[in-house]
Structure 1
Amino acid sequence: MITFYTITNWLLIFSYWLLIAGVTLRVLIKRRSVPFAMAWLLIIYILPLLGIIAYLSLGELYLGKLRTKRARTIWLSTSIWLRNLKSHQDFYDKQNSDIAQPLFQLCEKRQGIAGVKGNQFELLTTSNSTLKNVVQDIQLALNNIEMVFYIWQPGGLADDVAKALMAASRRGVHCRLLLDSAGSVEFFRTDWPNLMRNAGIDVVEALPVSLLRIFLRRMDIRQHRKVVLIDNHIAYTGSMNLVDPLFFKQESGVGQWVDLMARIEGPIATVMGIIYSGDWEIETGKHIPPPSVLNHTTLPLKKTNDHTILVIASGPGFPKEIIHQSLLTVIYSSKKTLIITTPYLVPSDNLLHAICTASYRGVDVKIVVPRHNDSILVRWASRAFFSELLESGVKIYQFEGGLLHSKSILVDGQLSLIGTVNLDMRSLLLNFEITLVIDDDKCGRELSRIQNEYISQSRLVDALLWSQRAYWKRIIERLFYFFSPLL
């Protein structure tokens, strides 16, 4: 009997260490960044069983067998469509500014598409104006409406959008709605999904969250895009979820969310539609055929006040780390000014180094973040980066007019990046995201005006006072910094 228990104990111990060794080897062979790998290994060694479960659930970029297969197939067909689009040279702007040229070259090589010209562009700075414009455009829709959002929360003006969408569907407009399961959990608990489906809208819950799927797919990969497409001609994207700020997260104590959205008319909407069709097929297995004929009716060109726009789509199935590489490219391209607004500042080591290097080169670098954040983890982790940024001369502004949720970058007043990407590892390496790039000084001046309005409502972080902050705060910052590769 003693021999049996001894053997059993040794087998359990051997199995335990074999499991840890196996997961350790798995972490190392994935060739992740050193901070990322070290963070996971320390978690696994400090909390072995919980750490192993966490790593198998969250540690690897795994979309699931079926979705991964669809994603690979979709990118091949999308690449063919984009190559065919190249034959319509009148849609492309062959001239880019010196600041934009490296980024446009990168994206053309990796995504197969350059900047598309002939677009009308407008920045919307309030949720009211965005939602009312969306309702008006839905009411005028003739053929198709596609939407994808991370969060749709009923209430206020969001309900007006839902009613307009149902009315459009009843009059024969084909409406598709793709909502992230985790972000829109409250929406799927209401009667709205059934009401919409009864009205003829295709409502799909993207990347369903379930304990049964936890080992079949990484649960924290999320559909984070925010896009509205109407008749392959009008498009919206930016930082705003489909919510009315008066009804959204009022209990969090951070004030109303402040967002930035872009409304575009022109051929870039069709390119964004190709991205949407990929997302739809990954989730449903159903293909949305692209426009069969690319002509001036399908892709209307405007000669006056037109903008050249590049779309960067990132996430599973799209070129690996494309948005991370794009951000590094524009930061290293900056010569005079660099202004960044982001709600979550937890950059990779490479991005942090690029930002600091830009400041050391003499670039006037400003970063605007919310003073109060809805995420305690991110709030403390982001502050761990402040010291290094301040030491390099970066100006950090803490916005006090609510939760600044705008995600924008302006380089030398010429190159504007607006979209859904946060400066954190989740947006950079995991989620489905979308970013617009506009190479135009007029748009740059408008974005600069908006960013300066944010700065006027912000408090500049004093480098000397920051260096004298309480020691216990530094400990908490470093503790959460440890988890920054996982945030």
Structure 2
Amino acid sequence: MQFSVLYLFAEWIVRILVIPVIAYRYRPPSALAWIAVISFQPMIGLALYIIFGENRLPRRRIAEHARRRRALQLDMWPMLQKYCVDPQSGIDGQSKHQLSVQLGEMPAVANNDFQLIDDTSEAIDRIIQDINEAKVCVHLLFYIWRDDEIGRRVTDAIIEAEKRGVECRVLVDAVGSRRFLKSRAKDLQAAGVEMFPILPVNLFRRRFHRIDMRNHRKLVVIDGKIAYTGSQNIVNPDYGTKKLIWHDLMMRLQGPIVMQLQAVFLTDWYAETNAELEKAECFPTPEAAGEETLQLFPSGPTYHTMNLHRLIVAMLYQARKKVTITTPYFIPDESLLQAIEVARLRGVQIILVLPEKSDQILVSAAQRSFYGQLLEMDVEIYLFTKGLLHSKTLTIDKTFALVGTSNMDIRSFALNLEMNLILFDEETIQKISDQQQKYLESAYPIHLNHWGNRGFFKTFGEAIARLMAPLL
């Protein structure tokens, strides 16, 4: 009896002390979600809050990231200056570019070559081929790296490059690639490859505040002249489950844009190692490689605002005719929902292409809870049936497109380090639109009358999951 009284007293102490802190530190949706968890189960809620509650990196790390970004921008500027452009004419076009530069801190650059690769095997083959031809340095940064067939092939190619005298450096997320770090990582290090985990987890002496705040970027830079980014990890396409084949999208890039991707790698490298790499080696003089104008847009908790979220919401308010989005995870907050609603009220066609089946049960349930609301706005929702659609794309009016690593959820906007390419040229954007059309051809639409007639238990479970949406 005495223990029960003490436990009850402790629960109320947790509620009284923690709930005001949450209300002060969080925006209302997230605050209400945390308050609900802690009110229902104070001790469990407190433990979860201690582990997952902080949504910012330490101030010192944020300041150091900002300093490194500014320093690298100054280093690149003399070589990039002649390629920097205002990508679109008119007040609206210049306004879009000014916003993306202010939020992402990188300008649009011209004369790039852009190749889209939608097949996992082809993407890995191209990456390995370029590694095999590397002369100076190879840099790789990935969220997931597995010791499977694809992982071993890329690992072997890096080891062989190191043996030829190429400087090879690898960053992998400490959580997403934890199994690889325990297995093949030692082989890379034994061969002389410099390899480090990103944001290593230590529950007792954490280097950051939230253990699910991850580096979700995918990046390859070879000799400072060729780069890859997109949604593809170093993993077999049946990763996680043999029942779902992942469909990814990668980009092979040449031209001045490669310097921006290299700058992201160098910034993340310095954050983990405190080592500055040789600039002459990393930044060879850029050369014109094509006709495309591109801009890299890094995002994440090292920036003072949810900069990618701000950009997408602003672009939706400027949309005039059509918006198409493909993403594996779609959990919008209120401001994103309002931007979608306002766009629909102005007559903008909005198409969402999402996977029919997902690898994340709770996230998928929360995502489905928004379908009815979106369908009532006359948003067109299509469910992809040929596997897990992992490609992350956004096109607006043939004047603006995003392709990269970021999902359309709070985790990608607020917690993960991400990177996306902004496309401005109509012909280049059309390549993304054509790829989106391929996905649409393997998807079926859902309709409001059918969706609203599903069983009580399905809708009830999704409603419960939606309460956790601000935390997902």
**TM-score, L = length of structure 2:** 0.94
1:224 is the counterpart of 2:216 = yes
- Residue 37 (structure 1) aligns with: 31
* Secondary structure of residue in 1 paired with 2:382: strand
CA distance in 2, matches of 1:338, 1:216: 36
Aligned equivalent of 1:21, options 11, 16, 19: 16
- Residue 193 (structure 2) aligns with: 201
Aligned length: 470
Q: Is the 8 A contact 1:421 1:427 kept in 2?
A: yes
- Residue 231 (structure 2) aligns with: 239
Q: Is the 8 A contact 2:223 2:282 kept in 1?
A: no
Residue 194 of structure 1: CA displacement? 1.2
Residue 183 of structure 1: CA displacement? 0.9
Residue type of the alignment partner of 2:70 = S
Unaligned runs of 5+ in 1: none
Aligned equivalent of 2:103, options 104, 110, 116: 110
Q: Is the 8 A contact 1:102 1:329 kept in 2?
A: no
Which of 326-335 and 202-211 deviates more? 202-211
Q: 1:63-462 alignment to 2 at 5 Å?
A: 63-64=57-58, 68-83=59-74, 85-86=76-77, 88-96=80-88, 100-190=93-183, 192-213=184-205, 217-246=209-238, 248-251=239-242, 253=243, 255-291=244-280, 298-302=285-289, 305-462=290-447
CA distance in 2, matches of 1:63, 1:285: 17
Unaligned runs of 5+ in 2: none
Residue type of the alignment partner of 2:308 = I
- Residue 43 (structure 2) aligns with: 49
Residue 21 of structure 1: CA displacement? 2.4
Residue type of the alignment partner of 1:448 = S
Residue 103 of structure 1: CA displacement? 3.3
Residue type of the alignment partner of 1:24 = I
Q: Is the 8 A contact 2:68 2:267 kept in 1?
A: no
* Secondary structure of residue in 2 paired with 1:423: coil
Q: Is the 8 A contact 2:322 2:350 kept in 1?
A: yes
After superposition, the Cα gap between the structure-2 partners of 1:404 and 1:97, relative to the gap in structure 1 and judged at 3 Å, is farther
Over aligned residue pairs, what C-alpha RMSD do you find? 2.3
CA distance in 1, matches of 2:467, 2:337: 15
Q: Is the 8 A contact 2:87 2:93 kept in 1?
A: no
CA distance in 2, matches of 1:118, 1:226: 23
1:314-344 deviations in Å (ceiling 9; x for gaps)? 1232342111111112211211110000000
Residue 94 of structure 1: CA displacement? 2.3
After superposition, the Cα gap between the structure-2 partners of 1:95 and 1:436, relative to the gap in structure 1 and judged at 3 Å, is closer
Which of 271-280 and 362-371 deviates more? 271-280
CA distance in 2, matches of 1:480, 1:16: 24
Q: Is the 8 A contact 2:295 2:421 kept in 1?
A: yes
After superposition, the Cα gap between the structure-2 partners of 1:179 and 1:80, relative to the gap in structure 1 and judged at 3 Å, is closer
Q: Is the 8 A contact 2:300 2:415 kept in 1?
A: yes
CA distance in 1, matches of 2:414, 2:364: 20
CA distance in 2, matches of 1:278, 1:256: 33
Q: Is the 8 A contact 1:131 1:158 kept in 2?
A: no
After superposition, the Cα gap between the structure-2 partners of 1:131 and 1:46, relative to the gap in structure 1 and judged at 3 Å, is same
Q: Is the 8 A contact 1:359 1:394 kept in 2?
A: yes
Which of 371-380 and 348-357 deviates more? 348-357
CA distance in 2, matches of 1:80, 1:178: 21
CA distance in 2, matches of 1:410, 1:111: 18
Aligned equivalent of 1:58, options 52, 71, 84: 52
1:231-267 deviations in Å (ceiling 9; x for gaps)? 1111111111111215x2234x3x2100011110011
CA distance in 2, matches of 1:18, 1:155: 49
After superposition, the Cα gap between the structure-2 partners of 1:317 and 1:70, relative to the gap in structure 1 and judged at 3 Å, is same
Residue 203 of structure 1: CA displacement? 1.3
